[in-house]
Amino acid sequence: MAYGVLIPKQIAAQNVDAWNRSAVCAGAIENGMIFSLLTKSATSGESEVWTALVPASSGSHLTDLWMAYDPELVYTSSYRGLDPDVRNFIVPATKIFSAFRPMLHDILLMSEDCFSGAWGGATNTHANATNSTWQLVWGTSQTGSVLSVAYLATSYISIGTGAIDTQRLTAYTVEVVGI
């Protein structure tokens, strides 16, 4: 199974430490997934680690969302870094990972596996946070005042698998237009 690949092209979090966090989730998490960070971990020794929760429409938790972005060192059994294919990367449940807060006008390159649904050319031009969904969902426009990205271009991400014709991963350059 292929998981999301995220390349932050131009993000404010690269310059502002306050928009970066360490997080932990009860389930597995992929790069590019979105979530709320409302509480800190209750686990001993994790005083600066936040708990990732699925976005929820109650209490306006479809705004002020965070996005997973951890180095793609694939876990193989209990070892990291043995698989060079970044499409096989996922953070296992209860492992600490890196997250950043998308800000207006951030530019991201995200593989198609980062999204729910399909980009639809002239029709599905925005991807939005949706209730009880970890991924951004393609839609025809920005949905109210929720985390939303606008499609800019179709691109690809080159991956080093060593195989012929499978090194290009379809990806979309998007701009954050709602937070």
Tell me whether residue 168 is in a domain. yes
Tell me whether residue 83 is in a domain. yes
Tell me whether residue 64 is in a domain. yes
Tell me whether residue 46 is in a domain. yes
Q: What is the mean pLDDT of residues 71-89?
A: 61
Residue 124 has a pLDDT of 84
User: Is residue 100 packed enough to be buried (19+ CB in 10 Å), middle (13-18) or exposed (0-12)?
Assistant: buried
Tell me whether residue 59 is in a domain. yes
Q: Above 80 in pLDDT, residue 127?
A: yes
Domain that holds residue 83: 6-178
Residue 52 has a pLDDT of 94
Residue 58 has a pLDDT of 64
pLDDT tens digits for 128-148? 999 899 999 999 988 888 899
| Domain count of the fold of the chain | 1
- Give 99's pLDDT tier (boundaries 50, 70, 90): very high
Residue 162 has a pLDDT of 59
The neighbour count for residue 76, using CB atoms within 10 Å, is: 11
Tell me whether residue 1 is in a domain. no
Tell me whether residue 11 is in a domain. yes
User: Is residue 111 packed enough to be buried (19+ CB in 10 Å), middle (13-18) or exposed (0-12)?
Assistant: buried
Residue 135 has a pLDDT of 94
Look at the chain and count its residues. Answer: 179
